[in-house]
Amino acid sequence: MNFASVIVDVAAKQTDRAFDYSIPQQWREILVPGMRVIVPFGPRKVQGFVVDVKLETDVKRTKPIAELLDLTPVLTPELLELGHWLTEKTLCFKISAFQVMLPAAMKAKYDKKILLQPGVESSQLHSKVQPYFQHTSEVMWSDIEKSESVNSFYRDIQKGLLEVVYLVKSKGNKKTVKALRLAQPPEHVKQLLQELPKQAEKQKQVLEFMLVQEEVVAQRDIMTVLNVTSAPIKGLVSKGLLHEVDMEIYRDPYANRDFIPSKPFSLTDEQSAAIKPILRDIENHEHDVFLMYGVTGSGKTEVYLQSIDQVLKQGKEAIMLVPEISLTPQMVKRFKERFGSKVAVMHSGLSAGEKYDEWRKIQRKEVSVVVGARSAIFAPFQHVGIIIIDEEHETSYKQEENPRYHARDVAIKRAEFHNCPVILGSATPTLESFARAQKGVYKLLPLRERMNKSALPKVDIVDMREELRDGNRSMFSTLLLEKIRERLERREQIVLFLNKRGHSSFVMCRDCGYVPSCPHCEISLTYHRYQNRMKCHYCGYEELTQTACPECESDHIRFFGSGTQKVEEELGKVLPEASVIRMDVDTTSRKGAHEKLLTKFGNGEAQILLGTQMIAKGLDFPNVTLVGVLSADTMLNLPDFRAAEKTFQLLTQVSGRAGRHHLPGEVVIQTYAPEHYSIQLASQHDYDTFYLEEMKLRQAHRYPPFFYLALVTVSHENVAKVVSVTGKISQYLRQKLSPQAVILGPVASPIAKIKDRYRYQCMIKYKLEPNMIPALKYVVNQYQDQMQQEQLTITIDLHPYSMM
C-alpha cells in the first residue's frame, strides 16, 4: 500500500478527520491500520493513528510518514470501528476516542528544542541568546519559553542561525533489564568453555549456568543465583561468548503474593438456573444481555467465575468490570485464586507504567482474563467470550469527561461484535436496566436467596428529629449507641457509614448565617481540621479558618455537618474504650493504605470501621454484626432526579455488609426523613416495590427510563454571555426537535460557578429524535469560533449521569 489515512493527535474540530500520507518504501509491507505513527503536520510533528491504507489518494501533495511507532497494531480492526462508533455516540473527536482506548502511558508527549545550525558560531547570535549556547549546541524550548529573551530567539530562528526541532516521545515505554544470551551455538560454547584459562573460575560457572538455562537470562538473576559480580559476565561479553540484550519485564503489582488456587464451588439450584442460559450462549456463540439481579450474598461472583471458566475452556477471553471503589484486594484475590496468572488487573491505583504493562500482557495474549475498572472495557482482546459488569448501577461506569461514554453501552457494542453474552450484575439494578429486563430486551436472571440462607439483616430506622426533640444533640442516636455498646461487649465488629456527599463539614456564623464560600466557585468551603484551613473541593482554593465572622464580626462561628474526622472525635468522647479505624480520602490517599487499613480491621485490630462511600462496597468481614448509617438522607437532597435511586442503592449496599456469615446482622439507619419511600423500602429490602414507586415518578416527570436525556452545559467568565448563548441554543433546539421533546433551559447549573466561570445548561428530555445528534453537532459548529477565541465552552453529555 502506498498511502495511509491518519487521524492526528490534534483535538479540534478542523482536524477531526483523516489526513493522507505516503508510506515510505520500507514500511509499505508492514504498515496496517491500528498502528501509531509520527507524521509531519504543518511545521511540527505529531503522533497519529493509521485508520486506513490505500493505493491511491486524492490529495495532491502528500508528506511521508516520519516514524513507525508500533510493529503490531495497538488497535484491532474491531477497536478502530468501535472508536468511530464512540465518536458518533458521544460527539467526541476521533483522536479522543482512540486515545481513551489505550493506556495513558502511550499518549504522546511533545517537546521542542532549538539547535545551533551547523557552521554557525555562537558569536553570530543575538547577545541575549549567546549565553545559552556557550557550552552546548542545543537548548530546550521549555528553558527559554518564559524568559525575556524569547523574542531574540525568534529573530535568530528567522535569520536561519537557529533551527527549531519538534520532538515527539511516546513515553511510559517498556521497562527493560539487561539480560544475556549465548552468542554462539551451545556445542560451540561447550568447546570454548574448555579453552578458558584456569583462573577464569567464575566465567566458567556463568557459562555452564547459561548452557542449562532458557535462552535469555536477566543479568540480575545470574548474579544472585551464582553469587558473582558483573565482572565475569562482562568478561564473557567482551570475549564474544555472551550477547547483551534488553529483556522486557513487567512491573507486577501483585508479585510476591501467594494465591492459593481455588476450585469452583458447587452451585445452588438458583445459581445453576441462572448460569444455564449464560452457558448456552457461550456454547452457541450467541449474544444476549443478562441482568443478574441478585441480593447481596447471593453468590453472583461464583456465577461469574464459572461462566468465565467456560469461556476460557473455549480458548476465548473474558472482560470483567468492577467499580473502581470495589476493586479491592479481596476481589482481585478471588480472581487470581481461580485463574492464576491468566489474569490482568487494571485500576487507577496502578502507576502509568504498571497499567501499560498489564495492557501489554493483554495485547501479547499472555492473559485471557482482565479484571478492571471502566476503561478495561477496551481491553485489546480479539476473541472476547464474555463481558461482565458487576455492580451495574455504579455511577463510575460513566466517564465524566470526553468521551463521555458509559461502559455498559460499550460492553454491549463489543459483545454484539463478538457474539457473546454480557452479564450485568446488581442487587439494586438501575431503573433503566431493570425496565429493559421487564420488557424482555435484557434477560432477567434472579438470585433471590442468600447462599447460606441467612436472613437479610434487621433494619431499624431512627428519626433524628425525634432524637433532637428528646434533647440528644449528638450525631449518634440512643438506639445506635446502645447497639454499639452491645457489640463492643461481645467483641463483635461495627461498621459506621457516613455519607459525606451533600453538606460535608462547612462553617456557619450562628449570628448572621454567613457561610464562607469559594470566591471562584459557587460552593461552600469545606473545613479541614488537620491544617485548620477551609478548602474548595472544586478548584483547590484554600484559606485559613476564620475565628470571627467577616460579615458581622461575631465570634459565634460554628462547624456544621460532620466529616469523618469529627465523627471519630465524638466517638472517642462517648466511647473512649472503642478502637476505631477511619477510612476516607485523607487516610487512604497513600498507595496501599486502603488495603492496609482493611487488613487491620479484618484482623480484629479495631472494633469500629468508620468511613465514607468507599466502605460501602464489596467488603466482607464475618465478625461485623452491626452497620450504622449516620445520616441516610444527605444524598436525598441533591438536585438530581436519581437521588432516591442512589439513596436506595447505597442503603441496600451498606446493609449488605452486616451479618453475611453465621452471626446475624443488624442495621441502624439514622435519618431526618424516615418516611421517605427510598429509606423505608431499603430497610425492608424491597427492591421490587421501590422500582414500581420510582417508575411512577419517572414517568410523571418524564425522566429516564421513559425519556432519554441530553445535557448541554455552557460556561464562560461572563454571566450575560452564558445566559444568552444557552438561551439561543435552547431556542434553536426547540425549533429543530419535535414537539414531543421537552427542552428545559436555560437554567443555572447546580454548581453555577466553577473556577470563575459561570455555568448554565439546557436539558433535553426526548424519546425519538432522529434530529438530535445533527442538531447538537450544528450547535457546536455554530459556536466553534467563539469557543476558540473567547474561551467559551460547550459540553454535551448524552445520557448524563450527573447533572452537575
Partner DNA sequence: AGCACGCCGACT
Partner DNA sequence: GTCGGCGTGCTC
**Residues marked as binding?**
509, 512, 518, 521, 536, 539, 549, 552
Pairing outcome for strands 369-372 and 317-321: parallel
Residues 589-648 close enough to bind DNA by CB under 7 A: none
Read off the amino acid at residue 722. Answer: V
DSSP-assigned letter for residue 584: S
Binding of residue 458 to DNA (CB under 7 A): no
Binding of residue 49 to DNA (CB under 7 A): no
Binding of residue 14 to DNA (CB under 7 A): yes
Pairing outcome for strands 36-41 and 67-68: antiparallel
Among residues 23 and 658, whose Cβ is nearest to DNA? 23
Binding of residue 196 to DNA (CB under 7 A): no
Tell me which of 272, 579, 788, 802 binds DNA, using CB under 7 A: 788
> Which stretch, 40-48, 76-84, 510-518, 796-804, contacts DNA (CB under 7 A)?
40-48
Q: How far is the CB of 551 from DNA (least distance, A)?
A: 39
Tell me which of 25, 29, 43, 185 binds DNA, using CB under 7 A: 43
Tell me which of 142, 151, 173, 689 binds DNA, using CB under 7 A: 151
Residues 389-448 close enough to bind DNA by CB under 7 A: none
Among residues 44 and 734, whose Cβ is nearest to DNA? 44
Residues 302-331 close enough to bind DNA by CB under 7 A: none
> Which stretch, 29-37, 94-102, 176-184, 781-789, contacts DNA (CB under 7 A)?
781-789
Q: What is the 3-state secondary structure (H, E, C) of 318-384?
A: EEEECCHHHCCHHHHHHHHHHHHHHEEEECCCCCHHHHHHHHHHHHCCCCCEEEECHHHHHCCCCCE
Strands of the sheet with 493-497, listed across from one edge = 458-463, 666-671, 624-629, 493-497, 608-611, 580-583
Residues 703-732 close enough to bind DNA by CB under 7 A: none
b/e string for 673-684 if b means 16 or more Cβ within 10 A? bbebbbbbbbbe
Tell me which of 12, 231, 273, 692 binds DNA, using CB under 7 A: 12
Task: Please state, in angstroms and rounded to a whole number, the distance separating the CA atoms of residues 559 and 529.
Answer: 10
Q: Please state, in angstroms and as integers, the Cα–Cα distance from residue 64 to each residue in 23, 28, 125, 700, following that order.
A: 6, 11, 33, 60
Tell me which of 28, 107, 112, 661 binds DNA, using CB under 7 A: 112
Q: First vs last Cα of the chain: how many Å apart?
A: 48
Binding of residue 117 to DNA (CB under 7 A): no
Read off the amino acid at residue 759. Answer: R
Tell me which of 1, 2, 15, 175 binds DNA, using CB under 7 A: 15
Tell me which of 24, 30, 54, 59 binds DNA, using CB under 7 A: 59
The set of residues, in sequence order, having a beta carbon less than 8 Å from that of 465 and lying 6+ positions away, is: 672
Tell me which of 10, 223, 479, 643 binds DNA, using CB under 7 A: 10
Residues 77-106 close enough to bind DNA by CB under 7 A: none
Binding of residue 52 to DNA (CB under 7 A): no
Binding of residue 63 to DNA (CB under 7 A): yes
3-state helix, strand, coil in the chain (%, to 5): 35, 25, 40
Tell me which of 1, 2, 20, 602 binds DNA, using CB under 7 A: 20
Binding of residue 54 to DNA (CB under 7 A): no
Binding of residue 128 to DNA (CB under 7 A): no
Q: How far is the CB of 24 from DNA (least distance, A)?
A: 12
Among residues 116 and 386, whose Cβ is nearest to DNA? 116
Task: Please state, in angstroms and rounded to a whole number, the distance separating the CA atoms of residues 110 and 778.
Answer: 32
Q: How far is the CB of 510 from DNA (least distance, A)?
A: 48
Ramachandran class of 397: left when φ > 0, alpha when ψ lies in -120 to 50, beta otherwise: alpha
* Alpha-helical segments (H) within 491-561: none
Cell of 474: 449528638
Among residues 196 and 780, whose Cβ is nearest to DNA? 780
Tell me which of 42, 264, 340, 774 binds DNA, using CB under 7 A: 42
Task: Please state, in angstroms and rounded to a whole number, the distance separating the CA atoms of residues 795 and 713.
Answer: 5
DSSP-assigned letter for residue 511: T
> Which stretch, 18-26, 67-75, 183-191, 656-664, contacts DNA (CB under 7 A)?
18-26
Tell me which of 11, 247, 267, 638 binds DNA, using CB under 7 A: 11
- DSSP H or E segment with residue 83: helix 77-90
Binding of residue 153 to DNA (CB under 7 A): no
> Which stretch, 39-47, 423-431, 561-569, 577-585, contacts DNA (CB under 7 A)?
39-47
Contact status, residue 467 vs residue 478, Cβ threshold 8 Å = yes
Q: Please state, in angstroms and as integers, the Cα–Cα distance from residue 461 to each residue in 243, 563, 608, 625, following that order.
A: 72, 21, 20, 17
Beta partners for 50?
Answer: 6
Among residues 21 and 766, whose Cβ is nearest to DNA? 21
371 burial level (CB within 10 Å; 0-12, 13-18, 19+):
buried
Whether the CA torsion 717, 723, 725, 730 is positive or negative: it is: positive
Among residues 62 and 438, whose Cβ is nearest to DNA? 62
Residue numbers belonging to the annotated binding site for Zn(2+)? 509, 512, 518, 521, 536, 539, 549, 552
By rule CB under 7 A, what string of x and - marks binding of each residue 534-573 to DNA?
Answer: ----------------------------------------
Distance of CA 340 to the CA centre of its chain: 24
Give the residue carrying C-alpha cell 430497610: 683
Binding of residue 263 to DNA (CB under 7 A): no
Tell which residue, 119, 445, 117, 456, has the closest CA to residue 294: 445
Give the residue carrying C-alpha cell 527549531: 164
Binding of residue 19 to DNA (CB under 7 A): yes
440 burial level (CB within 10 Å; 0-12, 13-18, 19+):
exposed
Binding of residue 261 to DNA (CB under 7 A): no
Binding of residue 166 to DNA (CB under 7 A): yes
Binding of residue 40 to DNA (CB under 7 A): yes
For DNA, how many residues bind (rule: CB under 7 A)?
Answer: 29
Binding of residue 41 to DNA (CB under 7 A): yes
Among residues 140 and 211, whose Cβ is nearest to DNA? 140
Interface residue list for DNA (CB under 7 A): 10-15, 19-22, 39-44, 57, 59, 61-63, 110, 112, 151, 164, 166, 785, 788-789
